[in-house]
Amino acid sequence: MSLVPVTLAGRSYDILIEGGLIARAGDLIRPVLGPRRLVVLTDETVAHHHLVPLEASLAAADYRFDTVVVPPGEQAKDLHRFPDLAERLLGLGLERGTAFVALGGGVVGDLTGFAAATLLRGMDFVQIPTTLLAQIDSSVGGKTGVNARRGKNLVGAFHQPRLVLADLDALRTLPRREWLAGYGEMVKYGLLGDAGFFDRLERDGAAILAGEAGPLGDAVAHCCRMKAEIVAEDEREAGRRALLNLGHTFGHALEAETGYGPDLLHGEAVAVGMMLAADLSRRLGLVSDGDFARIGNHLAATGLKTRIDQVPGGPFPADTLIAHMAHDKKVADGKIAFVLMRGIGDSFQRRDVPAALVRDCFLAAGAV
Q: Within 10 A of 167 (CB to CB), how many other CB atoms are there?
A: 25
On whether the CB atoms of residues 278 and 351 are closer than 8 A, the answer is no
| Among 120, 132, 155, 130, residue whose Cα is nearest residue 48 | 130
Q: Which of 119, 64, 126 is nearest to 96 (CA)?
A: 119
DSSP annotation of 353: -
Burial class from Cβ neighbours inside 10 Å (0-12, 13-18, 19+) for residue 238 reads: exposed
* Gap between the Cα atoms of 236 and 234, Å rounded: 6
Q: What's the rounded Cα separation, in Å, for the pair 186 and 319?
A: 29
Query: What residues contact 37, with CB distance under 8 A and at least 6 apart?
Result: 63, 64, 65, 95, 97, 98, 99
Nearest-angstrom CA–CA distance, 368 and 362: 8
**Alpha-carbon span 291 to 74, nearest angstrom:** 33
In terms of DSSP H, where are the helices of the chain? 25-33, 44-46, 52-60, 82-90, 106-118, 132-133, 176-193, 195-209, 213-233, 248-257, 266-283, 289-302, 318-325, 355-364
Where in the sequence numbering do the catalytic residues fall?
A: 121, 143, 185, 227, 237, 241, 245, 248, 252, 266
